Amino acid sequence: MTESLTIRVSTGTGTGRTTLAAFDAALVAAGVGDFNLVRLSSVVPPGSTVLEVDGRDQLPGEHGDALYCVYAAGHASLPGHEAWAGVAWSRRDDGSGAGLFVEHDGPSHEQVATDLVHSLEDLSATRGGAYHPEGRRLVGLACESLPVCAVVVATFSRAAWEELGRAR
């Protein structure tokens, strides 16, 4: 029997002197700043639970661990421009817990929210319409002078490098 997967979804925003520094600050705020991110495509395994959490309640791990995740990161570096990121998810109607994640970023809440809805609808239609929307997280901020970043991250699992080496 397989253990149920808990996927944690958190948000973060950050500012820095470069877009990379702003991205790092947003990852720290989302609770995943000390991981090496391994980006996944957007499929939720059957039996999974999705929890919306604050950064302090994100998946625990050690500095440098690999973190398997789905994420969106929006950036803005011009004063007055906005950075938005969002992740939304749906579940298959059969009760299996299987589902889909979609991730988008953009210059406004409205654009990201619309893109999330359209992507979930299209991904469901591609699979015969058997999915229903379940949740979403969006976050954004405006650039005042320094570059900014908004991040939403859904964490699936983490692995220490020693564990990864044994798997080869």
Domain range annotation of the chain: 6-159
What pLDDT does residue 90 have?
Answer: 97
What pLDDT does residue 109 have?
Answer: 98
Do the beta carbons of residue 43 and residue 37 sit within 8 Å?
no
Neighbours of 128 (CB within 10 A): 9
Residue 160 has pLDDT above 60, yes or no: yes
Higher per-residue pLDDT: 72 or 163? 72
Give percent of the chain above pLDDT 90.
89
Nearest-5° Cα angle at 25, 24 to 31: 90
Task: Tell me the three state secondary structure of residue 21.
Answer: helix
Residue 4 has pLDDT above 70, yes or no: yes
What pLDDT does residue 1 have?
Answer: 37
| Whole-number Å distance between alpha carbons of 55 and 35 | 13
Rounded mean pLDDT, 40-53: 94
What pLDDT does residue 162 have?
Answer: 73
User: Which CATH code, of 3.50.20.10, 3.40.50.2300, 3.40.390.10, 3.40.50.300, is assigned to 6-159?
Assistant: 3.50.20.10
| Whole-number Å distance between alpha carbons of 134 and 99 | 9
Question: pLDDT, tens digit, for every residue of 65-75?
Answer: 999 999 999 99
